[in-house]
């Protein structure tokens, strides 16, 4: 082709490239669908639960990857699409790139990555390698978010194209909601036909995804590859580019302007270092409660070690001018001292780990309070608050990936899932990067603080309430989900995948906090936060969770404003008082459930609603200071040489947030339960059931014990197990949930309840059999601790069998235990089905309340009425064929043994004849490895062998 100057050029029109890409992509999917429907209809519509006629339309994966030749049709078309696809990404970059702008580079990188990942799930089908196919697929879908948002953010001024992009993007992301709903209906509830509906939504995603990229044809008109740019889009040199630049300058979005800056790897590393230090702080803060809890747990009361919680009020030291000067001049040393918590895992002795954790937290709180104050005299205060907030989100994501255990806690190690050494090395590097690169800052005197209006102590109160809310509700993505969980059938969110929703809500709150501080600190938004807290406290299921999400958004949104408010005042009294208020709320949070073991416990007994109300009221007090002093953002102050330090653009924090959110979504996908669980002895119709009091998943040496518990449960071949002392969703237990790891690793359904807002020490049920229905109960407890119970109906080989998991009250509360025995007896007597009781009864065999549990009213039988050496754990049953009973020593996992019973679902009644083990079928026998000395400290004990 000849240009105007007569030069010979080869040009390729961008609109033609876009059309080619669209046609080939649609042809690949539609062609595979047509071929598949014609050749393998019945095979590709069939799934693991149903086939035709219940399911009558295939999913995308089944169509493009399961059968020849449709798989080949699809792969050939996608191969042809790859060329135009790469050209489309390149053209889009050149269309949107402007001098110094970093966002177009990021969008181009995302586009290339998505194209390569597409090749991964296209050419590695689900039949080739299901795991890698899923990894490539979910990664592709995850990158769709930054690609879509990036294209919208960099779109040229073309009203028609922008309109279509917004419509298609909205349809794409809006479709994900019903897509996930019907997938859960299929996978969890096994609803016939649900997968067909899911398939239609899945196919619509393809239409919207390809259609979104097809809109580029509207922008590529007149845009030619390599040599000819007929309308002057390139490099921002034309009138249209000038219009776009003017539009960017006029925008009211401050963050949008920051995206126009040049990309810097150094700034990205600086941001990652800041965020990781925020993660380290939250890891250290959340570690203290569970480390302290170990000691009163073993003392069954106040141990004296509780004084360690006062480590958080170390900012009070900043009241002293000499201390303040030293800390400001040596902030990197104080940060380094906080890493003592991260080295605690090297020591086995619990007291040493407690000391190191406490000392590390002492310096961590001191360092962050000083740094907030120090940065308040510069323009970097928003950077520190962003790092603080993203550190919490990163902590939540880390726990989400590690089944609610933070991998760098001092109760973790290389054996039980810890990543302590890696975490420590990264923390050292982050401190080195963040602090040793800075010039020395002068000591800041109180005369430099601008907070003269309002009360610093009211500001402190607000900060304390906020910090408690962030820790108690948002330090784990599943905490608020357990608040609203009320059993089977599922009527609300699940820890997986909906924990990712909590993290997404936290991210939304973070963005509101840095972009719309005026709205975040408005009275109207505070009302929304209060309504969310009320819904969380008052409702189960989805309505309660909607309130939880609203509260998560609100707490994260006000975080930067509250920290900046406190940074305006002298740091010692302000942050010291804030942490003291936080400590008082933590104690109240503990007292509501530990009332039987603490002085004055009756004042807060079962009053979580009161603690929640106080928290929101204190936040309201802090908000009044912000509103009264117009302190919704950073205050203009005198600058010093510290302000000359390079400040990363806030765009890098948005990149960090996007990475964390995408990671959370990926984890939710990869952790989604398979729900294809099988009992150990299906052929014999055998049920092996156990009861175990597991001491809050802390072993005798203060290590997290889930993996050790997993090993014994698996090797004992338990199909059903009741776990007591299992509610870990409190600050003092680390906001954990042991059932997540156990259920996923063992392949079992889990029921957790009643929830942490019901003030019990917890009961849980794990089952290889589907849980058809379950209800949660609180037994009468007028004086002592609340007694939880789960009554579940399980589908055991086609027979409905009830299982009741129950923990009665303390030995001292005689009347409580009598009332509870009557309540449980009524529950058992009212069940029309065969029943197994897995329980902690606190009674002697054939004495007292035992005769209420084993009675004509309950119709229950003792699994071994001749076993006289019992006090706590009992297995009772009725209308089942009992074939075995064993007691297994605990080793050092907990303080209570594991009791196990074997039953056969064959409609026969048990005899009272005891026989030798070799006289029963081999499939009925207990594992031989626990005979004699057993393994790992576990062996059959009391009567030294199974009966």
Map tokens 């304390």 to a residue: 464
**What is residue 886's three-state secondary structure?**
strand
Q: What tokens does 160 get?
A: 């028609």
DSSP H or E stretch at residue 507: helix 495-515
What is the chain's length?
Answer: 947
For 938, which DSSP code? B
Alpha-carbon distances, residue 264 vs 103, 651, 672 (angstroms):
11, 11, 37
Residues ≥6 apart with Cβ < 8 Å to 627? 521, 523
* Rg of the chain, C-alpha, whole Å: 31
> Distance (Å, rounded) from C-alpha 868 to C-alpha 847?
10
Per-residue DSSP letters for 160-229?
Answer: HHHHHHHHHHHHHHHHHHHHHHHHHHHHTS--TTHHHHHHHHHHHHHHHHHHHHHTHHHH-TTBBSSS-B
Instruction: Name the token pair of 379.
Output: 């323009």
Burial of 502 (0-12, 13-18, 19+ CB in 10 A): buried
Q: Is 454 left (phi over 0), alpha (psi -120 to 50) or beta?
A: left
b/e burial code for range 116-140 (CB count within 10 A of at least 16 → b):
ebbbebbebbbeeeeeebbbbbbbb
Partnered with residue 794 across adjacent β-strands are 771, 801
Tell me the C-alpha distance between 15 and 221, whole Å.
5
Is 807 one of the catalytic residues?
Answer: yes
Strand 799-807 and strand 835-840: the pairing is parallel
CB 813 within 8 A of CB 778: no
Are 731 and 289 a contacting pair, CB within 8 Å? yes
Q: Which stretches within 376-449 are classed as H helix?
A: 381-401, 420-435
Nearest to 338 by CA among 280, 291, 286: 280
Catalytic hit among 695, 807, 938, 939: 807
> Whose structure tokens read 């290339």?
112
Interstrand relation of 686-693 and 720-724 (parallel, antiparallel or unpaired): parallel
Helices 651-670 and 130-154: crossing angle in degrees, nearest 10, is 150
DSSP string, 223-251: BBSSS-BTT--GGG-SHHHHHHHHHHHH-
Are 270 and 646 within 8 A, CB to CB?
Answer: yes
Residue 370: closest CA among 329, 426, 431: 329
Of the candidates 389, 341, 577, 312, the residue with the CA atom closest to the CA atom of residue 465: 577
Return left, alpha or beta for 848; rule: phi > 0 is left, psi -120 to 50 is alpha, else beta. left
- Tell me the three-class secondary structure of 552-611, residue by residue: HHHHHHHHHHHHHHHHCCCHHHHHHHHHHHHHHHHHHHHHHHHHHHCCCHHHCCCCHHHH
Active site residues: 807
């Amino acid at each position: 082709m000849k240009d105007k100057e007569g030069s010979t050029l080869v040009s390729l029109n961008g609109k033609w490239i876009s059309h080619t890409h669209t046609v080939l992509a649609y042809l690949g999917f539609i062609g595979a669908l047509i071929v598949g429907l014609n050749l393998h209809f019945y095979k590709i519509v069939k799934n693991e639960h149903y086939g035709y006629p219940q399911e009558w339309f295939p999913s995308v994966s089944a169509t493009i990857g399961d059968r020849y030749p449709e798989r080949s049709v699809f792969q050939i078309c996608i191969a042809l699409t790859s060329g135009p696809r790469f050209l489309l990404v390149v053209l889009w970059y050149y269309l949107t790139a402007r001098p110094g702008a970093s966002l177009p580079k990021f969008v181009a990188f995302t586009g290339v990555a998505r194209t390569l990942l597409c090749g991964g799930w296209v050419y590695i089908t689900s039949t080739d390698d299901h795991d890698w196919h899923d990894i490539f697929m979910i990664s592709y879908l995850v990158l769709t978010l930054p690609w879509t948002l990036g294209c919208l953010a960099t779109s040229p001024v073309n009203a028609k194209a922008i309109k279509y992009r917004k419509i298609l993007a909205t349809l794409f992301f809006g479709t994900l909601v019903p897509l996930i709903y019907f997938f859960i209906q299929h996978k969890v509830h096994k609803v016939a036909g649900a997968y067909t509906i899911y398939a239609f939504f899945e196919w619509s995603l393809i239409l919207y995804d390809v259609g979104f990229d097809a809109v580029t044809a509207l922008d590529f008109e007149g845009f030619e590859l390599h040599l000819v740019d007929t309308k002057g889009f390139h490099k921002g040199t034309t009138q249209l580019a000038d219009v776009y630049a003017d539009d960017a300058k006029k925008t009211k979005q401050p963050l949008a302007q920051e995206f126009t800056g040049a990309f810097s790897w150094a700034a990205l590393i600086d941001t990652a270092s800041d965020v990781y230090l925020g993660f380290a702080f939250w890891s250290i803060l959340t570690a203290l409660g569970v480390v302290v809890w170990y000691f009163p747990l073993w003392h069954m009361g106040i141990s004296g070690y509780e004084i360690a919680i006062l480590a958080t009020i170390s900012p009070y030291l900043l009241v002293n001018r000499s201390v303040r000067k030293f800390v400001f001049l040596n902030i990197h040393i104080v940060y380094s001292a906080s890493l003592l918590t991260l080295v605690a895992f090297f020591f086995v002795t619990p007291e040493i780990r407690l000391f190191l954790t406490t000392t590390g937290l002492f310096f961590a709180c001191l360092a962050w309070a000083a740094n907030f104050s120090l940065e308040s005299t510069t323009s970097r205060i928003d950077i520190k608050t962003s790092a603080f907030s993203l550190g919490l989100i990163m902590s939540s994501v880390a726990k989400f990936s590690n089944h609610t255990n933070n991998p760098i806690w001092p109760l973790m190690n290389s054996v039980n899932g810890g990543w302590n050494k890696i975490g420590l090395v990264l923390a050292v590097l982050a401190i080195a990067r963040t602090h040793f690169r800075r010039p020395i800052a002068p000591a800041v005197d109180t005369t430099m603080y601008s907070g003269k209006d309002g009360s610093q102590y009211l500001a402190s109160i607000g900060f304390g309430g906020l910090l408690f809310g962030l820790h108690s509700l948002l330090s784990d993505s599943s905490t608020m989900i357990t608040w609203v969980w009320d059993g089977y059938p599922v009527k609300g969110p699940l820890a997986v995948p909906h924990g990712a929703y909590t993290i997404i809500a936290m991210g939304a709150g973070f963005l509101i906090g840095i972009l719309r501080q005026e709205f975040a600190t408005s009275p109207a938004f505070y009302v929304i936060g209060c309504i969310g807290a009320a819904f969380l406290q008052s409702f189960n299921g989805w309505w309660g969770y909607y309130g939880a999400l609203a509260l998560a958004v609100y707490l994260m949104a006000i975080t930067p404003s509250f920290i900046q408010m406190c940074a305006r005042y002298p740091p010692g009294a302000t942050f010291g008082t804030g942490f003291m208020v936080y400590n008082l709320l933590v104690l109240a949070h503990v007292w509501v459930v530990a009332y039987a073991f603490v002085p004055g416990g009756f004042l807060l007994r079962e009053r979580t609603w009161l603690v929640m109300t106080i928290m929101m009221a204190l936040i309201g007090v802090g908000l009044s200071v912000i509103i009264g002093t117009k302190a919704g953002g950073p205050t203009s102050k005198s600058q010093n040489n510290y302000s000359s330090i390079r400040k990363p653009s806030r765009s890098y924090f948005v990149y960090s947030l996007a990475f964390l959110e995408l990671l959370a979504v990926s984890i939710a996908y990869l952790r989604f339960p398979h729900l294809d669980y099988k009992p150990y002895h299906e052929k014999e119709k055998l049920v092996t059931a156990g009861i175990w009091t597991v001491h809050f998943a802390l072993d005798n040496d203060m290590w997290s014990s889930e993996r050790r518990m997993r090993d014994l449960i698996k090797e004992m071949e338990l199909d059903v197990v009741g776990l007591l002392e299992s509610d870990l969703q409190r600050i003092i237990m680390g906001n954990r949930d042991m059932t997540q790891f156990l259920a996923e690793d063992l392949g079992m359904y889990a029921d957790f309840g009643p929830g942490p807002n019901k003030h019990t020490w917890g009961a849980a049920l794990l089952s290889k059999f589907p849980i058809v229905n379950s209800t949660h109960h609180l037994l009468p407890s007028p004086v002592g601790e609340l007694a939880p119970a789960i009554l579940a109906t399980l589908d055991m080989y086609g027979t409905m069998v009830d299982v009741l998991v129950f923990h009665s009250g303390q030995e001292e509360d005689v009347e409580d235990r009598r009332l509870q025995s009557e309540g449980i007896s009524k529950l058992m007597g009212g069940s029309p089905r065969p029943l197994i009781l897995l329980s902690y009864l606190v009674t002697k065999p054939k004495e007292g309340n035992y005769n209420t549990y084993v009675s004509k009213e309950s119709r229950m039988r003792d699994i071994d009425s001749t076993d006289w050496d019992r006090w706590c754990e009992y297995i009772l049953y009725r209308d089942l064929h009992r074939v075995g009973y064993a007691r297994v020593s605990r080793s050092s996992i907990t303080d209570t043994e594991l009791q196990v019973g074997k039953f056969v679902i064959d409609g026969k009644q048990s005899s009272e004849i005891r026989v030798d083990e070799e006289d029963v079928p081999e499939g009925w026998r207990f594992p031989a490895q626990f005979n004699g000395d057993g393994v790992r400290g576990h062996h059959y004990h009391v009567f030294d062998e199974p009966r």
